[in-house]
Amino acid sequence: MEDMTTYLANIDENELKTFVKDLKPQIKATTDVHRVISDISWVEMVEDSIPYLDNIIRNPRRFIVQEENIVPIEKAKVVTEESIRHLAQNTNLIQDVEEDGTVIPLKLLNVYREETVDLYENRFIKSLVDNLYQFVNNKLAESDQQSRVDTKNKVSYEATQEIGNNKIKINLNLESTNAEVIETKDKDGHSLETRIEHIKDVLAAFRGSQFIKNLSASQPVRSPIRKTNVILKEPNFIKALELWEYLESNAIKPMTSVEDESLDRTKDIIDKYNLAFYLTNDALKLNKDTKYDKMKSRSRIDLTQVISDVLSEDDLEEKALKRMLNQAVKKAYAQKREEEAGVKKAFVNFLKEYNRNRQKALDCLK
């Protein structure tokens, strides 16, 4: 990383300006955003209403139903005050009166009392639970209620530059995608998925309660709701009526909206990609003393003249001269291999560092 920092700090600014000055790149950079926005206000509404419904279901309102029937005396099960009073008022039902005053009735009023929860207010709650169960299932069938943002970045960059006899081309295509789910948690840190599962569990418990089972054969309640004193004044029923009205107003309304947006990012990144072109070319550029330049330089050297100059200064035998030349050639090749290894290593290190920094730059575009 230190080598890369040094490299970037030593970039020839004038050379960079010259390189990008006349560039006319073909570049297109877009960001496509697909948003799925779920309105989860219904989750909060249901959560707020559950304690009130639970109070009603656990402690339902009851009513004593009294049924009266005139039955033969042998079928009468219980003799009550109402039975005696009715017999006194209807003497035609007396069969006989014995000498001791004992009255023998022919028929008797039978009074049957039964406690029931089949009241309008309770049937209203039962219908509300059924409607709520259907509402929740419809919303979950519509979507998973998660809000999300899907982002796709696309960049295509093509440019040509001529420097002397060198013609340099670059063609770059980049595409990145990101799918992000927007976490929605309540004040206690519960995720949306957990909250919905809790609602489903509570509704299942409500539907399986004895209260709901006792009303299974009752007539369902439909709008408009009869505003009885209990529904208008009792806090639990007030909240139940509020939930009923909410479900009716949001039963058809979709709770999920979709938004698509496309942004042109070309102006934001063109300078960065021009710089990337320059760095890419600089990374691949040959040293000033290329093999071709060295071959041309060496071709201009007269080797015979060099040997003549050596012989004129030192009186060497042929074997000694050959040995000296052989050693010089070996040393030159060794230096050459060492230089090439160093260049290759530096080039590989540079490419690794360049790719890391290039990835960081790409991450910034997301």
HEC assignment per residue over the chain: CHHHHHHHHCCCHHHHHHHHHCCCCEEEEEEEEEEEEECCHHHHHHHHHHHHHHHHHHCCCCEEEEEEEEEEHHHCCCCCHHHHHHHHHCHHHEEEECCCCCEEECEEEEEEEEEECCCHHHHHHHHHHHHHHHHHHHHHHHCCCCEEEEEEEEEEEEEEEEECCEEEEEEEEEEEEEEEEECCECCCCCEHHHHHHHHHHHHHHHHCCHHHHHCCCCCCCCCCCCCCHHHHHCHHHHHHHHHHHHHHHHCCCCCEEEEEEEEECHHHHHHHHHHHHHHHHHHHCCCCCCHHHHHHHHHCCCHHHHHHHHHHHCCCCHHHHHHHHHHHHHHHHHHHHHHHHHHHHHHHHHHHHHHHHHHHHHHHHC
Tokens coding 335: 């230096």
CA atoms within 13 A of residue 152's CA, in its CB half-sphere: 8
- Alpha-carbon distances of 46 from 103, 127, 188, 195, rounded to whole Å: 63, 15, 16, 10
Main-chain dihedrals φ then ψ at residue 251, nearest 5 degrees: -65, -40
Residue 52 reports pLDDT greater than 90:
yes
Strand partners, 157: 27, 172
Domains of the chain by residue range: 27-62+117-285, 65-115, 288-366
Residue 1 reports pLDDT greater than 60:
no
Residue 170 reports pLDDT greater than 80:
yes
Lowest-pLDDT range, 14-23, 57-66, 165-174, 301-310?
Answer: 301-310
Residue 2 reports pLDDT greater than 60:
no
Closest C-alpha to 354, from 286, 289, 275 = 275
Residue 23 reports pLDDT greater than 70:
yes
Q: What is the pLDDT of residue 301?
A: 52
With a CB cutoff of 8 Å and minimum separation 6, the contacts of 214 are: 117, 118
Average pLDDT over residues 204-223: 93
Q: What is the pLDDT of residue 103?
A: 78
Q: If pLDDT is split at 50, 70 and 90, which confidence band does 95 have?
A: confident
Top mean-pLDDT range of 10-14, 91-95, 175-179:
175-179
Q: If pLDDT is split at 50, 70 and 90, which confidence band does 247 have?
A: very high
Task: Please write the tens of the pLDDT for every residue from 145-156.
Answer: 888 899 999 999
Residue 12 reports pLDDT greater than 90:
no
Burial group, residue 153, by CB count within 10 angstroms (0-12, 13-18, 19+): buried
Q: How far is CA 101 from the centre of its chain?
A: 88
Residue 131 reports pLDDT greater than 90:
yes
Residue 160 reports pLDDT greater than 60:
yes
Task: Please write the tens of the pLDDT for every residue from 316-335.
Answer: 666 776 777 778 778 877 87
Average pLDDT over residues 175-194: 85
Average pLDDT over residues 172-194: 86
Distance in angstroms (rounded) separating the CA atoms of residues 307 and 153: 66
Q: What is the pLDDT of residue 273?
A: 87
- Report the largest interatomic distance among the alpha carbons of the chain, rounded to a whole angstrom: 177
Strand partners, 96: 104
Distance in angstroms (rounded) separating the CA atoms of residues 71 and 180: 76
Q: Which amino acid is at 356?
A: R
Q: What is the pLDDT of residue 357?
A: 58
Q: What is the pLDDT of residue 286?
A: 43
Q: pTM (2 decimals)?
A: 0.54
Closest C-alpha to 216, from 118, 113, 134, 115 = 118
Average pLDDT over residues 105-124: 81
Distance in angstroms (rounded) separating the CA atoms of residues 300 and 304: 12
Q: What is the pLDDT of residue 213?
A: 93
Give the torsion through C-alpha atoms of 122, 123, 128, 129, to 10 deg.
80
Average pLDDT value over all residues in the chain: 80
Residue 188 reports pLDDT greater than 50:
yes
Residue 33 reports pLDDT greater than 80:
yes
Residue 281 reports pLDDT greater than 70:
yes
Residue 113 reports pLDDT greater than 80:
no
